[in-house]
Amino acid sequence: MSRSSVQRIVVGLFLVTACRDRSQHREPTESSGQPARGERMLAEAKACAAEPPPLDHCLAACELHHSNSCARAGDATRDRAEALALYRRGCDGGSGLGCEAAGELDKARFYLRVHCEQKHAPSCLALGRMFAEGRGGPADPAAAATFLHQACQLGDRAACGEAGSK
């Protein structure tokens, strides 16, 4: 038997086992007396939207993969390191709020760039200012102008004024 045949058999057995294990996993349903995962996430996210954000509900929604709730949990905690971790988790999950907050808190150009690429004008503006002022790394007037111009194109009037002066 050739090596590639053995590899195909091993992969096939793995997939059969994984599918069988997955088919035995069941999310809670209303009939089991527990709300389904998606319903729990939405309920916790709704509670997290309160002002000020309640940390317990935001953390619960974050654990259920609601990325904006991770960002809101970062707003609610008083621990800077925990806030940064929550903002990054939110950003990694697709939350523009998380990317923006992580970028501002950590002055991490990477997180602002991710959010700017998602067409979020305030993140493009913040990133442009960081490049212009040399925060979070060396100053780069050309990059600053690019990001300020992008923020302007996305509708941020403050960026339009700053882009014109660069």
Q: Where are the domains of the chain?
A: 36-99, 107-166
Residue 148's alpha-carbon distances to 47, 96, 129, 133, 138, in angstroms, are: 35, 18, 8, 13, 17
User: Tokens at residue 90, please?
Assistant: 């939110």
Phi and psi at 136, nearest 5°, equal 80, 10
Kindly state the average pLDDT of the residues 10-29. Answer: 40
**Cα angle 92-97-101, degrees, rounded to a multiple of 5:** 90
Q: Say how far apart CA 22 and CA 111 lie, in whole Å.
A: 34
Confidence bin at 2 (pLDDT 50/70/90): low
Verify cis geometry, omega within 30 degrees of 0, for the bond prior to 52. yes
Kindly state the average pLDDT of the residues 130-135. Answer: 82
- Return the higher-pLDDT residue of 73 and 35: 73
Q: What percent of the chain has pLDDT over 70?
A: 74
What pLDDT does 148 receive?
A: 95
Whole-number mean pLDDT of the chain? 79
Instruction: Indicate whether this model's pTM tops 0.85.
Output: no
Q: Which CATH architecture has domain 107-166?
A: Alpha Horseshoe (1.25)
Q: Is the pLDDT of residue 33 over 60?
A: no
